[in-house]
Amino acid sequence: MNSKKVILSLVLATMALISCNKDDDNNGPAPVPDRDREEVKAESDSTITAYLETHYYNYEEFDNPSEDFDYKIRFGELKGENADKKSLLEDVTVQEINFADVNYKLYTLVVREGEGKQATYADSVYMNYNGRLFNDERFDGSVTPLWFNLPGVITSNGITGTVPGFANGVNSFKGASSVSLNTDGTLKFSNDYGIGAVFIPAGLAYFSGSQGSIPAYSSLIFTMEIFDVIENTDNDRDGVPNIVEDINKNKILRDDDTDSNGTPNYLDIDDDGDGIPTREEIIINADGSIEYLDTDGDGIPDYLDADS
């Protein structure tokens, strides 16, 4: 499967699958409404915690790596001769992400944090990944490292980017401390890059939308290696970094649209829709610091204030 079609072709989790037929023409089945998000959340939590309680990762190989160790995460069941190993539940960290008015638990396994630049959900990262369902069926993955713009870019098919759970899992890691460019355009990096996994509830994945071999309402597992990070990514090049465009601070950029024009702020060069480009309503100093002007003193910076 083409990796970009799965990771980069994000179906917005808040979008229902709607039939093209009108309700009154009787030419097809009626649209099926989304299931209740809280109900799906409870199912996802049960699936994820059950997996974490009954599985382990190859931490012993990471603790004492052999010369030929590939630094790849492998999961196994806690049974037989492996029954006494440490469960994943003992190692994961949990962060709460509010999306579509529901508080979700996102579970992240940090095997190695990394020693380089800090990744955030708003940045572009150079990485490897592998995606699996909770029945261990692999649905996607990269063979060689790829650049991912985590929040997404505008294409002919709309905004494409990673699902919220993936982007917020990546922000637990850093890249390698040393990164250089090879003659073929690929990157060479030191062996201190971030390594881990994220366990994503359906509500922070594709929810009611199916993707290839991923059924609707599926929780997902991604293992990942983070090699390099473009810090303070600014998709629309308006001078305001993506992460600052997260106005409501919910770690999701697509629901911040100050002028309600359908284009989220991080992709909008005129965030407040007043006809003055955002770049002209801020000051970028020589040292790179940014001053957010508020000429009318109402507590709202000019670039977000249509009547400033």
User: Is the pLDDT at 307 greater than 50, yes or no?
Assistant: yes
Sequence-distant (6+) residues with CB within 8 A of 44 are 104, 201, 202, 203, 219
CA distance 170 to 172: 5
Per-residue model confidence as pLDDT tens digits over 235-257: 999 999 999 999 999 999 999 99
Domain that holds residue 291: 234-308
**Average pLDDT, integer, range 66-83:** 96
Beta bridge partners, 292, equal 282
| Final residue in a domain of this structure, among 199, 230, 261 | 230
Question: pLDDT class for 155, splitting at 50, 70, 90?
Answer: confident
Q: For position 33, what pLDDT does the model report?
A: 75
**Residues 111, 224: one domain?**
yes
| Final residue in a domain of this structure, among 200, 230, 260 | 230
Phi, psi of 227, rounded to the nearest 5 degrees = -100, -40
**Residues 32, 129: one domain?**
yes
User: Is the pLDDT at 67 greater than 90, yes or no?
Assistant: yes
Number of alpha carbons in the 13 Å side-chain half-sphere of residue 279: 9
**Residues 295, 223: one domain?**
no
What CATH number did the domain enclosing 203 receive? 3.10.50.40
The mean pLDDT of the chain is 89
Per-residue model confidence as pLDDT tens digits over 34-49: 999 999 999 999 999 9
User: Is the pLDDT at 26 greater than 60, yes or no?
Assistant: no
**Residues 64, 147: one domain?**
yes
Q: Whole-model pTM?
A: 0.84
Domain count, the chain: 2
For 89-241, where are the alpha helices, taking DSSP H only?
164-170
**Residues 267, 301: one domain?**
yes
Per-residue model confidence as pLDDT tens digits over 98-138: 998 999 999 999 999 999 999 999 999 999 999 999 999 99
**Residues 45, 161: one domain?**
yes
**Residues 21, 46: one domain?**
yes
Residues constituting the chain: 308
